[in-house]
Structure 1
Amino acid sequence: MPIQAKKDSGLKDGLRLRRGIYHFRFMYHGKLKTGSTGCRDLRSAKAYLLKLRSALALESIDVRTISKATFQEAFDLYLKVQAPRLAARTVRLFRSNHQHHWSHFQDAPLKDMQMHLDELFPRLAAKMKPGSQRLVFARLRSVLELARKRGLHNTPLEYPTIDVPRDPKQVLSEEQVEVFFIHVDRIGSLHARIMIRSLFYLGLRVSEAQRLHWDDYDEDEMTYRIDERQKNGKILYLPVLPEMAEWFAKQPRKKGELMCPGRWGCHNTRYTDLVVKAASKSMGLEVPMTHHRLRASLSTSLLRRGVPLAVVQRILRHADPATTTKYYWEEGLQDMREGLMVLSKVNGSPLDEDRHVS
């Protein structure tokens, strides 16, 4: 039997003991919530408070546990919760998938979703490449997983395993990066040059580079804050190299504003994309560079320099190190040659002729 407290106590963790009963008092979205838990022991009072906070969180997004919730309700919930932290292009892709691939089961109960998942796979396989299929199922999974976490269903679902053949993609070497930025400086505006450099020197995603903000940059500590709108919703700080700080200094600092404000308060990727493609053409690259391949060029350069994988993973802010090695590390023939050089006689390896194994 849990021990019951007898003396009144001060407020701690939102609970206060008064006359043998625990009362709660906390702020939620700017409003004060007070009342009695009706519990005489601390463990039950904490459980009551946790349940109350969970109920308030569900009410704030108009979500209730629905035994007959449909996929359409799960999709609407996902957009309401996640759209503010996703790039506009990503939201459009979710809506496009819903319109073209998920519309035939939008009114289906979530408890029957396994049947629809099994039917969707052969339908997409007949008209899509494996990579596109996997993206459609990844987005669908994120919708259904959020619905499960918010109590719309508790059905375990199995998703198809889609193997995507992957050829090595283009990255720039350190020498090519220097040449690339020379062409960028010749072609692009100041805003374009800063935003494109942030993709490489800070390892930012495209959506994060579009939101370069003065309030996130600490000039004294030489750090840049990645806000809660990033992919995993966490707040992290990245070190700012002197090369990047010099470019930030070229802009007039205005507190509360974007570093590179556009006509409508932010930039899309079009004008920087034109500069990246023009610089690629000037370099004579057969395949033009993209914003994302600059981020991959950074990780490949760091890993080739011997930077530990865990450090590169943290710079790119990947939850899984496999993502870093699979998509952001392009090993080429030269990398393999340098790896085998450790066995070369030039380096005095155990294969040297004057060494023999008895």
Structure 2
Amino acid sequence: MAIRRGLFTGSNPAKTVPRIKQPKRLPQYLKAEEVPLMLTALERRWRPMFATAVFTGMRKGELLALRKSDVDLKTGTRRVGRSHASDTTKGNREDLLPIAVGLVPYLREAMATSPSELLFPREDGTKHRPDVALHKVLRRALGRAGLVEGYNHVCRRKGCGYKARKRHGVPEPCPRCGMKLWPRALPRPLRFHDLRHTTATLLLKAGVPLATVQRILRHSDPAITSEVYGHLDVEDMRKGLDQLDFTVPEPATPPSSSH
């Protein structure tokens, strides 16, 4: 900015800063049978928003900025063109997208319960802050639904301090003092953005063409969709590799000699 305004001359010092390589990890997602468990475990006021996230793949800011007027249940379409307080989205464009049949009941409930023009406002009708902790809402629901990595069994007797990590959540007596242990769920480390990954992953696993998934996610380039979700080709690669057969035939049994 200083260079553009003529306040600085010379080479840009930012160019000398080395880029930090970030490892690309596989996206986290919920399996098809886990989505209903998560939705059921949510508080009712959160359920329509989270259902919309899974059914559409919309980003957090786009959901918070969605208005009732953006949803047309008669034509089964939704308009996505805002994010948070901005009049544009990350892709800098407005899109008209279809509404899945399974999402309609959740949208009807959201329209009926929202006290303002927003579809997913706070209880007083105002817009949620951009930093609203939706990931914490998700993690609590995952814990209640049993979608966890395990449980921390903690003794709450003062001075005992015993704790152990176990796979189950059944209360057991403390091996030190005999008091019943309190199992605390350790939810899977999913972010709210991982619901968008869930949408894409389940669509691709269902055989939806990559180009269609790209349009649903509104990626600017199909290569982005392919790069992020390329790991889903592993089963296709397995089928291809299984075509290779190097089984060595067993040698024929020599005929027995008669004397």
Q: CA deviation at 1:322?
A: 2.1
- Aligned-residue identity in percent: 25
Aligned 8 A contact 1:224 1:239 in 2: yes
The one of 212, 217, 233 equivalent to 2:66 is: 212
Q: CA deviation at 1:164?
A: 2.9
Partner of 1:265: 126
Aligned 8 A contact 1:169 1:330 in 2: no
Say whether 1:336 aligns with 2:234. yes
Q: Distance in 2 between matches of 1:217 and 1:117?
A: 44
1:121-136 maps to which residues of 2 (within 5 A)? 121-122=17-18, 130=20
Q: Distance in 2 between matches of 1:167 and 1:245?
A: 33
Say whether 1:325 aligns with 2:226. yes
The one of 241, 246, 257 equivalent to 2:105 is: 246
Q: Distance in 1 between matches of 2:133 and 2:238?
A: 43
Are the structure 2 counterparts of residues 176 and 339 from structure 1 closer, same or farther at C-alpha, using a change threshold of 3 Å? Answer: farther
Gaps of 5+ in 1: 1-68, 75-106, 131-162, 354-358
1:345-356 maps to which residues of 2 (within 5 A)? none
1:92-241 maps to which residues of 2 (within 5 A)? 107-109=7-9, 112=10, 114-119=11-16, 121-122=17-18, 130=20, 163-184=21-42, 188-190=43-45, 192-227=46-81, 228-241=87-100
Partner of 1:280: 142
Q: CA deviation at 1:314?
A: 0.6
Aligned 8 A contact 2:57 2:196 in 1: yes
Gaps of 5+ in 2: 82-86, 150-187, 248-259
What secondary structure sits across from 2:79 in the alignment? strand
Partner of 1:45: none
RMSD of equivalent CA atoms:
3.1
User: Partner letter of residue 47 of structure 2?
Assistant: R
User: Partner letter of residue 302 of structure 1?
Assistant: L
User: Partner letter of residue 22 of structure 2?
Assistant: V
Q: Distance in 1 between matches of 2:58 and 2:135?
A: 15
Q: Distance in 2 between matches of 1:202 and 1:175?
A: 17
Aligned 8 A contact 2:57 2:216 in 1: yes
Aligned 8 A contact 1:214 1:259 in 2: yes
Partner of 2:163: none
Are the structure 2 counterparts of residues 234 and 275 from structure 1 closer, same or farther at C-alpha, using a change threshold of 3 Å? Answer: same
Deviation string 1:69-123 (CA, Å, 9 cap, x unpaired) is: 725859xxxxxxxxxxxxxxxxxxxxxxxxxxxxxxxx525xx4x431323x14x
Deviation string 1:306-349 (CA, Å, 9 cap, x unpaired) is: 2111111111111112221223x2636xx6356424665xxxx6
Q: Distance in 2 between matches of 1:341 and 1:213?
A: 45
Hey, which bits of structure 1, 4+ residues long, moved more than 4 A?
71-74, 253-256, 349-353
Q: CA deviation at 1:350?
A: 8.5
What secondary structure sits across from 2:148 in the alignment? coil
Q: Distance in 1 between matches of 2:48 and 2:8?
A: 48
1:66-77 maps to which residues of 2 (within 5 A)? 70-71=2-3
Q: Distance in 2 between matches of 1:72 and 1:183?
A: 53
Are the structure 2 counterparts of residues 271 and 164 from structure 1 closer, same or farther at C-alpha, using a change threshold of 3 Å? Answer: closer
Aligned 8 A contact 2:54 2:196 in 1: yes
Q: Higher relative contact order at CA 8 Å, sep ≥6: structure 1 or structure 2?
A: 2
Aligned 8 A contact 1:303 1:312 in 2: yes
Partner of 1:92: none
Aligned 8 A contact 2:27 2:197 in 1: no
Q: Distance in 2 between matches of 1:218 and 1:336?
A: 38
